[in-house]
Amino acid sequence: MRVIITKDYNQMSRTAALIIAKQVRSKPSTVLGLATGSTPLGTYKELVRMHKKERLDFSNVRTFNLDEYFRLDPSHPQSYHTFMFENLFNGINLKPENISIPDGMAENVEGFCTEYERRIKLAGGLDLQLLGIGRDGHVGFNEPGSSLGSRTRLKTLAEETVRDNARFFGDKKEVPRLAITMGVGTIMEARKLVLLASGQGKANAVMKSIEGPVTAQVTASALQLHPSVTVVTDQKAASMLRHRRYYLYVEKMAEEYEAEAGI
Ligand code: GLP
């Protein structure tokens, strides 16, 4: 696991965007797994800038979103559909037919979830999955207690998550209580994982996920079992990490090595 501790939110966003851009440039038909929430906003902004100013090309990229609220119309201002189009898709040259977001309005939810998994497989699997983290350590909407082998399914949101997301809906009562989410098992099959975390409010979740035991009570801790994970945090989100100085030292060594090798 690589842990990159950046100075602040902007540097975290820039670092994550560079990782994604490198992936897309090295494999133009990359299959990207995408996340929502306030954390990846800066990353998406930077990707849009790179597309406009540096010709970062998404024309052959396919995307799969992690999750979507259940029974929230895609046109709702707080749906993850709206979020993705407003914050990323409208600013880059992805083909609409290459975009997949869970359908929260699906009549046959189980059938839809099975089909979503099948579509990911058909696309060749996720090359890189971007993740945020909830304050309870969840990834996607895999709340505490989610099986670490879980697949795409309907999930009940934890009380804390409903409270956290109320800031987007104005009123807690408006927040959907259910969501369709990729499972932890689905996420773990991506070839690379990039987890973003920003702010003091995430420090405990980050510490438990990276340095705590692997447990279904903190679903992001499953990432410890993945062979290719990069965690990008700002200083506040990293503030509770016991081995913080070591992670900084490792990155400094890598930089020196790369400079020497002319990479
Ligand atoms: C929701 C999303 C997660 C996201 C989390 C944190 O629960 N389903 O994918 O990581 O919120 O959101 P934020 O980045 O706004 O803190």
Burial class (CB in 10 A: 0-12, 13-18, 19+), 49: middle
Give the binding-site residues of ligand 1, using a 6 Å CB cut-off. 35-39, 66-67, 132-134, 140-141, 161
pLDDT of 81 > 80? The answer is yes
Give me the percent of the chain exceeding a pLDDT of 90: 96
Supply angle C-alpha 242, 244, 247, rounded to 5.
130
Q: How far is the CA of 38 from the centre of ligand 1 (A)?
A: 7
Could you read off the pLDDT of 96-116 as tens digits, one per residue? 999 999 999 999 999 999 999
Catalytic residues: 67, 136, 138, 143
In the predicted model, what is the mean pLDDT of residues 52-58? Answer: 98
Which residue's alpha carbon is nearest to atom 1 within ligand 1?
37
What is the model's pLDDT at position 86? 98
| CA 199 to ligand 1: nearest atom | 16
What is the model's pLDDT at position 189? 98
Q: Write out the two tokens for 7.
A: 């100075």
Q: Write out the two tokens for 120.
A: 């990911």
> CA-to-CA distance for 232 and 237, rounded, in angstroms?
9
Q: How far is the CA of 104 from the centre of ligand 1 (A)?
A: 17
